[in-house]
Amino acid sequence: MAPAEDAAKEDKRLFLLDAYALIYRAYFSFIKNPRINSRRFNTSAAFGFTLTLLDLIEKEKPTHIAVVFDTAEPTERHLEHTEYKANREEMPDDIATNIPYIRRIIEGFNIPILESDGYEADDVIGTLARHAEKDGYTTYMVTPDKDFGQLVTDKVLMYKPGRQGNAHEVLG
């Protein structure tokens, strides 16, 4: 095998996107100037998420990528600690109505959507990142959620997409 092929084979970069964290961030980034289509449908969440996805693919050229969603099923934390996220506001309707479109956009890119009943996306991302690290991948946890900082190692990094024209930030 040629040296360039060896290098390419060793460059295994997995990007795991925290779907709802990025969707909420996208939606609220347009809160003062929402993206409304001709049918009066607020597309801010789908538009912003898609911009983030396109930017990441274009600039980072991941070798592997997946988008991880939470499910509606309660997690062990919810069952053991009734106060866990009990005060969290319900998802705004403008976000909820965008979710099916965002899923179709992801599928249109042929990007796997991962979700596991009983587990938060954070847990799925953390578990996959650890397994990928053992398999020689550099994993980028794509999220603005600071809680992911506890998972950072030399090969597991936190990728915070840029905001308002600012560059992204990689922690690790």
- Secondary-structure breakdown of the chain: helix, strand, coil percentages, each rounded to the nearest 5: 45, 15, 40
- Overall number of domains in the chain: 1
- pLDDT reported for residue 8: 53
pLDDT tens, position by position, for the chain (172 residues)? Answer: 444 445 555 699 999 999 999 999 999 999 999 999 999 999 999 999 999 999 999 999 999 999 999 998 877 655 566 665 556 689 999 999 999 999 999 999 999 999 999 999 999 999 999 999 999 999 999 999 999 999 999 999 999 998 877 889 999 8
Give me the domain span that covers residue 131: 3-171
Distance CA 167, CA 33 (A): 21
- Distance (Å) of CA 154 to CA 3, 27, 72, 151: 24, 32, 33, 10
Can you give the CATH number for the domain in which 81 is found?
A: 3.40.50.1010
Distance CA 15, CA 31 (A): 27
